[in-house]
Structure 1
Amino acid sequence: MPENNNRTPVTVIGLGSMGAALADAFLAAGHPTTVWNRTAAKAAPLVSRGAEHPPAVEAAVAASPLVITCLTTYDDTIHALEPATGALRERALITLNSGAPAGARAMAAWATGHGARFLDGAIKNVPSAVGAPDTLLYYGGDKAVFDEFEATLRVLGGDTVHLGDEPDLAALYEMAVGGTLLPALVGFFQGAAAVQARGLEVSTMVPYTVKWLEMINSVLPIFAREIDSGDYTVPASTVGVFLAGAEHDDEFGREANIDVTWRAPMTDLLRRAVAAGHGEHSIAALVELLRTDGVAV
């Protein structure tokens, strides 16, 4: 099913905020777009812009050679597609949902078992960024599917990457990269509470937080090299230095009248690293304590 002038018909299943943004991007780029959602009302704005909305999911799947699902979990995706298994054969199915690598592998087995050609992917941005030149999406699975539909997929984001043929790679990287989000946000929210406690606007700390995040960005390649080599003996900042800083957290919490107990497990990790002999090693040595039985996901 070759592409035709970059106007491949596309079906989008699942019209939450992200799914609707995907469908809208395809419509804006001129792709014949079919949409389907259990709550039909969510399709109305897209239908008004030219999308087709058949009442049955099977008809929606049958309408296009490329079917993209954007539901919450792999189980939700399978549940939604169960009535349409007869229409999946020879179609390219791309899942863009949350879940662990094991879920992606199970999804791939289910999809290919019904004759579909499968890719799993992840969108590394918010709905409003869909279609932007620098928006990152990465995919794992059938490289032939990626190659065939790459131009269409770039409608969703200019930074579009195929990670490899293993169908769980996008889920692996999604979980591995996404692990930084909540700790970073909670750290920002802690700072916001402290700044407000002094009667200051939270917006005043944003420029300095951005610079701090840029600094973190600059040292990640150094930490990655240390972890890949297993050599933590030439540190820019040691585990011991981080532990010394962590010991001020309780004092800061009392002074600002904020709850800093969310940091306790990280402080415990630092203490265990020092006990294991990593006190003078790079902070990247914490990865050695995060490993359990050495079995990769």
Structure 2
Amino acid sequence: MGTALAEAFIGAGHPTTVWNRSAEKAAPLIAKGARHAATVEEAVAAGPLVIACLTTYDATREVLEPAAAALAGRALVTLNTGTPEGARELAAWAEAREVRFLGGAVKNVPPAVGKPGTLLYYGGDKAVFDTYEATLRVLGGDTVHLGDEPDLAALYEQAVGGLLLPALLGFFQGAALVTARGLKAGTLVRYTIKWLEMIASELPAIADEIDTGDYTRPRATVGIFHQAVAGELELGREAGIDVSWHLPMHALLERAVADGHRDHSIAALVETLRSPERRF
């Protein structure tokens, strides 16, 4: 991802200085016109805008600590994964060192960096965002400032990112099912995309139910999903595939029914998720 970010800046004509903990990884960027910094301090001192793309907030702080003096007065934009707490801690570290902080997230894969539809969102110092918005927009045309709280990008990163693995597991289960019959996983793609589009079309109405707390006009009820549990387990036995990853979801449905949500919209599951102390 760091390489993709640097390539986007270089491609847009921005003077770009790069540094990596593994120096050899900078070679392709140098060949494209980037300047290589021998140390992180040198990289930080190269310009007023510092983009950090490491694995975690802790790793970012560890790498930047030796360059804290050079960072003072500059804008630091982080593009890494982590928890909202991690973002707040890094923002506090930055503030204590007079560093202007903006926490961000790239909501796409590296090959999408720099494209008009690629989403990046940021939380933190609005003045930093306003000053460098045009520069940051080089990384993706759908660039959003979520608010002044420094942990908002991490919050939305975790909130949206939670969809990824369950959705992929659903596809993997389908692939296991059809390939067991000698069919190609590729035959699922068209129909899966249509199904995901249907789900996407329902999200505004589902979000409205959650925001209003009114689950009494359901398109699909908790009870309908609950009744399907036995069929899902039977499918696993018939096809000889492991469907045990469904079991926590089945338990969630059981709790929702016990909480009186059987005839409510499936969106009422959010109320059960809000009561984790009752899961045992």
Which stretches in structure 2 are left out of the alignment for 5+ residues?
Answer: none
Question: 2:219 maps to what in 1?
Answer: 236
User: Which among 45, 48, 55 is matched to residue 31 of structure 2?
Assistant: 48
Distance across 2 between alignment mates of 1:83 and 1:275 = 55
Kindly state the Cα deviation for residue 223 of structure 1 after the two structures are TM-superposed: 0.7
TM-score normalised by L of structure 1: 0.92
Equivalence for 2:157: 174
Cα distance, 1:250 vs structure 2 = 1.4
Alignment-derived partner of residue 197 in structure 2: 214
Q: Tell me what 2:232 maps to.
A: 249
Kindly provide the amino acid, as one letter, of the partner of residue 162 in structure 1: H
Deviation, structure 1 residue 246: 2.3
Query: Could you say which residue in structure 2 is the equivalent of 1:261?
Result: 244
> Which residue of the partner structure matches residue 136 of structure 2?
153
Q: Secondary structure at the match of 2:102?
A: strand
For residue 34 of structure 2, give the secondary structure of its aligned residue in structure 1.
coil
| Counterpart residue type for residue 235 of structure 1 | P
Instruction: Write the mapping of 1:1-297 to structure 2, written as runs, cut at 5 A.
Output: 18-292=1-275
- Counterparts of 1:61 and 1:262 in 2: how far apart (Å)? 45
Q: Percent identity?
A: 69
Instruction: Give the whole-Å Cα distance in 1 for the aligned partners of 2:114 and 2:235.
Output: 42
Shift of 1:64: 1.1
Unaligned runs of 5+ in 1: 1-17
Structure 1: how far apart are the matches of 2:176 and 2:224?
25
* Secondary structure in 2 matching 1:105: helix
Structure 1: distance between partners of 2:275 and 2:60: 31
Q: CA deviation at 1:293?
A: 7.7
Deviations 1:51-78 (A, max 9, x none): 1111110000000110000100000000
Q: With structure 2 as the length reference, what TM-score do the two structures score?
A: 0.97
Structure 1: which 4+ aligned runs deviate by more than 6 Å?
none
Partner of 1:14: none
Q: Deviations over 1:197-218 (max 9, x none)?
A: 0100000010000000000000
Inter-partner Cα distance in structure 2 for 1:188 and 1:283: 21
2: CA distance, partners of 1:164 / 1:293: 28
Alpha-carbon distance in structure 1 between the residues aligned to 2:229 and 2:140: 39
Q: 2-side partners of 1:257 and 1:155: how far apart?
A: 48
- Quote the RMSD (CA, aligned, Å): 1.0
Q: Secondary structure at the match of 1:277?
A: coil
CA deviations on 1:175-213 (whole Å, 9 max, x unpaired) are 111111110011110101111001000000100000000
